Each structure stands twice: as structure tokens, then as C-alpha cells.
A and B are shown apart, each in its own frame.
Chain A
Amino acid sequence: MNRWTSRWRTLLGLLFTAVMLFPGYWMVNVSLTRDHDMRRQPPMLFPVDPTFDGYRAVLKQQLPYLGTSLLIGLGTVALTIVLAAPAGYALAKLRPRGGGLLSFVLLAAQMIPGIIMAMGFYAIYLNLGLLNAWPGLILADSTIAVPFAVLVFAAFMSGIPEDLLQAAYTDGAGTLRTFWSIVLPISRNAIVTVSLFAFLWAWSDFVFASTLDSGGRLRPITLGIYQYIGNNNQQWNAIMATAVVASIPAAVMLVVAQRYVTAGVTTGAIKD
């Protein structure tokens, strides 16, 4: 490729990214703005007179919430994979009766608005005593990701060459063993994909958290943010500071993880 086009592309890419990330920048800007400057007209483009009150508040109050969110995110990922990988495999390879129907039901399950699910959960949890506890929230959050995950696993695993599995069976491995030592390792990339989605969904969930865990000792970060949008006060710099603190590690990891994408693509190309 011509060097000039490349340079133009970089420039254009930077421009696009700038536009796309402007709301993100704005968030940072607000997080540093003093309360009484918040509603300045016109707004200040740069935090001329920055305050770190927001960040102080976050570091003092929000770290436990971040931990909880992490715990719930990871828990959801684990539960989703444990549930979805075998189900996907069953759908793709063992072809149970009614498999097609099941796929449709899974798709349909994704259509139920979160608030309806949350209402149902609330009633169940109230009786089970799972309210305001993180395991309940993990269970609830997994319902967002599981249908999607099953579909992804099914799509992926049906691409695993049949002879590979046959070979395993011939070697005397049972279904379970084949699944564990052949199918799962091959599906590593699907697992990573599903994990990513499950984590992101659990991380940003608000409806379930507010319905099922708003009074718990361990609350996720979305509720931590909500706390600043209280009845009588909205500490915007603290809200935005929390959001910034919460997304920085994730954003850094995204950038670092770029090489895994390339690696993933190569594996895919070889397999195809």
C-alpha cells in the first residue's frame, strides 16, 4: 500500500476515533469539574480548574464495589461457560430431538425484556432468601449471556471436524472425555468470545442489580454509581470519576489484548 494512503488512513482513523470517543472525553472532563462549574454556559472544553474531589470520593468509597463487579463478572463468565458449552456441544453434535426448536427458544429467551425477568427473579429470590446476595446476581446475570453463548458454542462446535471426534471414540474415550479433552481445547476461542460478552454484560448490568441487590452488602459498581444519583444530590464529578476509574483497566486490557486477536485470526485461517 502506498505510504501516503496509509498516512491518510491513520489520520482519518484518528479523526473517527476522536469523534467516537468524544463522549468518553466529556466524561473525563466532567469528572474533573467543580460542582458550581457544572452548569456553566457555555461549558468548559477543558477542565481549567480541575478538582480531584470526585476521584477522592471514588477511591474512598467505590473500591469494594469494583471488587464486587469483578467477582460477579467472573462468576457470570464461569457459570455461563459451564452451562452453555455442554449445551452448545449437545446441540451441535449430539443433535437431540427438538434441537431446532431449542435453538429458537434460546433466541426467543433473549427477547424477554430484562425487567420482566427481574420481576420473576425477585419473587423467586425473596422466597429462597437469595436477595441482596452476590450469588443470586451471578445467576441472574448469566441469563443474559447463556442463550447467546449456547448459540455461539453450537455454531462453533459444529465446525469441528467429525473425524477428530471419531478418532477419540475409537480410542475408547466416552462422550464426556471427548468433550473435555478434545472439544473444549479446540473451542478455546469460542470460550474467550463468550467470556468477553458475558463479562461485559454482567459488568454493565443495572436492571438486575437494582432489582435484586440494591440492599446487599456487596453491590456492583453500577449501583455504586447510582448511589451518587441519590434523591437529593447528584455528584456528577463523582459519578463520572467512578465511570472513568471503572473503565480504564478494561480499556487498557483491550488495547493490550490486540495481539490475541491477530493470533486468533491466524488460527482461524489455518483451520479453514
Chain B
Amino acid sequence: MVVYLAAFYAYPLYRNVDLSVRHYTVRSFVQGDAPFSGLDNYREVFDDPTFGPALGHTALFTVASLVFQFAAGLALAVFFNRHFRLSATLRALFLVPWLLPLIVSASTWSWMLNSDSGIVNAALSMFGVGPVNWLTSPDWSLVSVIIANVWIGIPFNLVVLYSGLQAIPGELYEAAALDGATGWQQFWRMTFPLLRPVSAITLLLGLVYTLKVFDIIWIMTRGGPVDSSTTFATWSYRLGFGNLVPQFGRGAAVGNLLILLAMALSLLYIRTQRKQRRP
């Protein structure tokens, strides 16, 4: 296990750190004699005009995706927790977005959100709302990728939270109902607290996955127009791969910052969770 970890996680990571502290030109990348340049790449990244927007978009993308995914997932989980006709079948169908390769779902969304021939704008125009340039306007591109990402993330949240709900014994609800608690009270006083550990792991994994979301944004907008939907993940890719001349050093630096950010956030999150548990 340790060997596996070392070979398949540590090595790429080491390589990436190494890339990020050297001054690469295309030539020195091939010849392998790039001079050590310390933290120059990081400094350049911090000074880059893309840095601020990318940080902001990463934060907004992650928080908005998590909040909406979780809220929708939880609401649906509670909804499906009651048995009714077709409930099981419908719940299974909710998993379909998950089965689709990201490249397909992202393409479908960009199709639907196309300014001129997309179904979304066609529907909006029926209500007299003018065409929204979902993917091509700097004001909407981030919103669009968040919508698509929330859609893709709902099944994961639904499945995990639903299973959490199933684990809460039904007698508790019967007792509460006898005490005259309304559905709303039951939810806030019992369901929500009991679900906390499951919620915690769902959000934590969600955080880790959302931070590094790349395919959806890249396929739908390539981070554009003009950086308006660029996150750290897409920026790193663009620096390293998206141009005619790759800037491996800086791409790697951005990638490492993303990993650091993810670690810091999860540590913070775990810590607050722990504190909350001790009253």
C-alpha cells in the first residue's frame, strides 16, 4: 500500500513540485537542464492579473456548487425517504447524470445553453426574456458552469444523504410524531443533527472534488471568455497544456497552489467539525 502510494501519488506530486521550482523554457524542458529558480514561478503566478479572478472564481464556483448540490441532494433525499409509488424507480433514474461521461454531459449543457440555437434560450424567449449569452458573456459564463456542475453533483449528494436517512430508525419519527412535532420540526431537531456525520463526509468529499473540477469548465467555456470562468484547475491546465507553447513551470505552480488550498480547507473543515461536536 505504501509502495503504491509512493509510486502513484508521491512521484507525480514530486515531479510537479520539481517542475514548479525550475525555470523552464521549451528547450530546457526537453534537454532536462532547467536551472533552479526557487519560488520565481510562484511569484509570477501571484503577480499574474489572472490570479485574483481565478481565486475568486474558484471560491465562488466551489461554494455555490457545494451549497446547491447539498441543498438539492438533501431536499430530494428527504422527499424520496417517504415511500410512494415509483419512488424507487425515480430515485434510480436520478443517478443517470452520474453515468454519463463528463465530456458528454458538458457537451450537452453547452448545446442547451447555446445562445442562438439552445433550448434554454428558446424556452426563455417564450416568457419574453431576451436571449442570455450563457457561455459567451463574461457575466454569465461562471453561472453556466456552476449550473452544469450542480446538476452533475446532485446524484452523489442524493445517494449518500439518502442512505444516511435510511440509517435513522423509523421509531424515532413515530415517537416524535406522538409528541406532536410537525414535519418541519422533525427535520430540524432530529433529521439534520443525526445526519451530521454523513453530511460532513459528503461535504468534505464534495469540496475535494469540486475544487479540482476541470473537464466541465474546459469543455463548456475553456475558462473564458477572458478568464471569466477560469478557476485554478483550468488555469493550471491552460498554462501547462492549453497554449502553443507550454509553460510547465507556472502550470505546475498553480496546480500545487490548488493542492495546498484543498488541504488547508479540509484541515480547517475537519477542525471546525471536531470543535462543534464537543459542546
Complex Cα–Cα for A115 and B76 (A) = 33
Complex Cα–Cα for A35 and B264 (A) = 49
Is the CB of A36 closer than 8 A to any CB of chain B? no
Complex Cα–Cα for A262 and B79 (A) = 17
A139 and chain B: residue at smallest CB distance: B8
Is the CB of A59 closer than 8 A to any CB of chain B? no
Complex Cα–Cα for A12 and B86 (A) = 11
Contact B4 A6 (CB under 8 A): no
Contact A115 B86 (CB under 8 A): no
**Residues of B with C-beta under 8 A to A41:** 116-117, 122
Is the CB of B38 closer than 8 A to any CB of chain A? no
Contact A111 B212 (CB under 8 A): yes
Is the CB of B26 closer than 8 A to any CB of chain A? no
Of residues 103 to 131 in A, which have CB atoms within 8 Å of B's CB atoms?
A: 105-121, 123-124
Is the CB of B211 closer than 8 A to any CB of chain A? yes
**Residues of A with C-beta under 8 A to B259:** 108, 111-113, 116
Contact of A23 among B9, B151, B169, B212 (CB under 8 A): B151
The residue among A23, A83, A236, A265 with the most chain B CB atoms within 10 A of its own CB is A23
Given A111-B208, A114-B212, A206-B101, verify A23-B108 contact (CB < 8 Å): yes
The residue among B80, B88, B100 with the most chain A CB atoms within 10 A of its own CB is B100
The range of chain A's interface size is: 35 or more
Q: What is the 8 Å Cβ interface bit string for chain B, positions 139-163, against chain A (1 contact, 0 not)? A: 0000000000001001000000001
Is the CB of B92 closer than 8 A to any CB of chain A? yes
The range of chain B's interface size is: 35 or more
Is the CB of A247 closer than 8 A to any CB of chain B? yes
B11 and chain A: residue at smallest CB distance: A120
Contact B215 A207 (CB under 8 A): yes
Contact B100 A13 (CB under 8 A): no
Is the CB of A218 closer than 8 A to any CB of chain B? no
Q: What is the 8 Å Cβ interface bit string for chain B, positions 108-140, against chain A (1 contact, 0 not)? A: 110110001111001001000000000000000
Majority SS at the chain B contact face: helix
**Residues of A with C-beta under 8 A to B119:** 26, 42-43, 45
**Residues of A with C-beta under 8 A to B258:** 111, 113
Is the CB of B233 closer than 8 A to any CB of chain A? yes
Q: What is the 8 Å Cβ interface bit string for chain A, positions 236-251, against chain B (1 contact, 0 not)? A: 1001101100110011
B103 and chain A: residue at smallest CB distance: A206
**Residues of B with C-beta under 8 A to A160:** none
A150 and chain B: residue at smallest CB distance: B1
Majority SS at the chain A contact face: helix
Is the CB of B64 closer than 8 A to any CB of chain A? no
Complex Cα–Cα for A243 and B102 (A) = 10
Contact B255 A143 (CB under 8 A): no
Contact A16 B79 (CB under 8 A): yes
**Residues of A with C-beta under 8 A to B118:** 43
Given A13-B80, A262-B88, output 7 extra A-B contacts at Cβ < 8 Å: A1-B82, A42-B125, A116-B13, A120-B13, A207-B215, A247-B100, A254-B92
Query: Would you list 12 pairs from A and B whose C-beta atoms are within 8 A, ordered by A residue?
Result: A14-B90, A20-B94, A20-B154, A26-B119, A38-B117, A110-B208, A116-B236, A121-B12, A206-B101, A243-B101, A251-B93, A254-B92
Q: List residues of chain B with CB under 8 Å of any chain A CB.
A: 1, 4-5, 7-9, 11-13, 15-16, 76, 79-80, 82-105, 107-109, 111-112, 116-119, 122, 125, 151, 154, 163, 166-167, 169, 204-205, 208-209, 211-212, 214-215, 233, 236-237, 240-241, 252, 255, 258-259, 262-263, 266
Q: List residues of chain A with CB under 8 Å of any chain B CB.
A: 1, 6-7, 9-10, 12-14, 16-17, 20-21, 23-24, 26-27, 30, 38-43, 45, 83, 86-87, 90, 105-121, 123-124, 139-140, 143, 146, 148, 150, 200, 203-204, 206-207, 221-222, 225-226, 229, 236, 239-240, 242-243, 246-247, 250-251, 254-255, 257-258, 261-262, 265, 268-269, 272
